[in-house]
Amino acid sequence: MKRVNVILETELYDKARVVGFIRKKSLSEIIRDALRDWLTTNVDERAELVLSEKDERRILKILAEDDFVPMEQVKKELGL
């Protein structure tokens, strides 16, 4: 987890505290849930590309550093 500072309007903060008390949830938990829901509906194709860049770099590193075995050799070794 990461610690972040968030500035909320007083009214929003007060309402969230009351709801958190009633539902026995911390303010952090309420905000995490809300952010998770928001990301689920708002991550589009461009955002996915940025988010997947880390995976792409990892794959490119594997391709550059690991030994490449031709498909025919793999099929032969596996008896396919």
Residue 3 lies in a domain: no
* Structural domain containing residue 50: 10-78
The answer to whether residue 63 sits within a structural domain is yes
Please report, for residues 18, 32, 56, 64, the alpha-carbon distance to residue 13 in angstroms, rounded to integers and kept in the order given.
Answer: 9, 14, 39, 50
Q: What is the pLDDT along the chain (80 residues), one digit of tens a residue?
A: 888 899 999 999 999 999 999 999 999 999 999 999 988 888 776 667 666 767 777 777 877 887 777 888 888 888 88
Decide if 43 is inside a domain: yes
Please report whether residue 65 resides in a domain.
yes
Which tokens belong to 31?
């905000």
pLDDT at 70: 82
21 in a domain, yes or no? Answer: yes
User: pLDDT value at position 43?
Assistant: 77
Cα angle 29-53-61, degrees, rounded to a multiple of 5: 125
Looking at the structure of the chain, the number of domains it has is 1
CA distance from start to end of the chain:
46
In a domain, 5, yes or no: no
What SS3 state is found at 64? helix
Amino acid in the structure at residue 20: G
